[in-house]
Amino acid sequence: MPPRKLYFENVRVGDELPAMAKSPIDRVQLARYAAATNDYNPLHVDEVAARAIGMPSVVSPATLGLGFLGQLVTDWARGGQVKRASARFTRMLWPQDTLVCKGRVSDRWGEGGRYFVELDVWAENQKGELVVRGNVTLKVFYSFEDETRFRTGQPPLIVNVQRQSILAQPPAPPPARAATRGKVSAARPPARTSKPARAAKKPAKAARKPAKPAKKPAKPAKKPAKASKPAKKKK
């Protein structure tokens, strides 16, 4: 039975990679990793040197966690090519730490016969704390037929697929327009009518209260002053 391979048509955004648990990190593993990378930093292999600068013990290289994530991806994406990889280290690794590596499909797209799958991957320690987080872009065949065409020198299958990022949100649909003038669209609530004028709501003051009676007739003019008596003649 041929080994299982990853094809674009079988991948969906949100698919989770099978979690991979690693054995606790030990001193032998650190020594082997130092030899494989030719990195003999005393902080990773010399207990006395590590304690001399205040460390509780030797510390594991951060790239060891990145290597675990690489194993997670290659075990799952058989037949895929890693085109890009990045990582961010958030916590130090210590001896006896047990890492669990996880991942999920965060995006997929295809154009011009080239198909790509993007993964979010991360590793947690035995306390559930995030240790390292990364992003990987894979190039894969669309299907078994697409791979066969490539092996035999034929042109690839062309299936254009737009990006389907797990973070993307579909745009809001535009509001429906009214079919005829004067009808209110079902997508919008009817507009609020303006308040009636005060004159229509309350009667005018002149209509509510009777008119005031006319003012009283003016008083007649005062009586004419009495004529002054003629002055008496002196004797």
Query: For residue 118, what pLDDT is reported?
Result: 96
Asked if 170 and 162 touch (Cβ cutoff 8 Å), the reply is no
51 secondary structure, DSSP code: H
User: 148 pairs with which residues across the strands?
Assistant: none
Question: Using CA atoms, how far apart are residues 70 and 129, in angstroms rounded to an integer?
Answer: 19
Q: For the sheet with 100-111, list strands across it.
A: 16-21, 100-111, 114-124, 130-140, 81-89
Q: Where are the domains of the chain?
A: 1-24+60-167, 26-59
Asked if 185 and 177 touch (Cβ cutoff 8 Å), the reply is yes
| φ, ψ for residue 223, nearest 5 deg | -60, 145
Report how far Cα 142 is from the mean position of its chain's Cα atoms.
29
Helix or strand run (H / E) with residue 114: strand 114-124
Asked if 99 and 133 touch (Cβ cutoff 8 Å), the reply is no
Q: Indicate yes or no: pTM above 0.75.
A: no
Mean pLDDT by 10 residues, the chain (235 residues): 78 95 93 91 89 90 92 93 94 93 96 95 95 96 94 92 72 50 44 50 50 56 54 50
DSSP secondary structure letters along 117-184: EEEEEEEE-TTS-EEEEEEEEEEEBSSHHHHHHHHTTPPPP---B----TT--PPPPPPPPPSSTTPP
Question: Using CA atoms, how far apart are residues 181 and 204, in angstroms rounded to an integer?
Answer: 37
Domain 1-24+60-167 in CATH 3.10.129.10: yes
Query: For residue 159, what pLDDT is reported?
Result: 92
Question: Using CA atoms, how far apart are residues 104 and 122, in angstroms rounded to an integer?
Answer: 9
Question: Using CA atoms, how far apart are residues 152 and 23, in angstroms rounded to an integer?
Answer: 43
Asked if 157 and 143 touch (Cβ cutoff 8 Å), the reply is yes
Question: Using CA atoms, how far apart are residues 225 and 136, in angstroms rounded to an integer?
Answer: 122
User: 140 pairs with which residues across the strands?
Assistant: 115
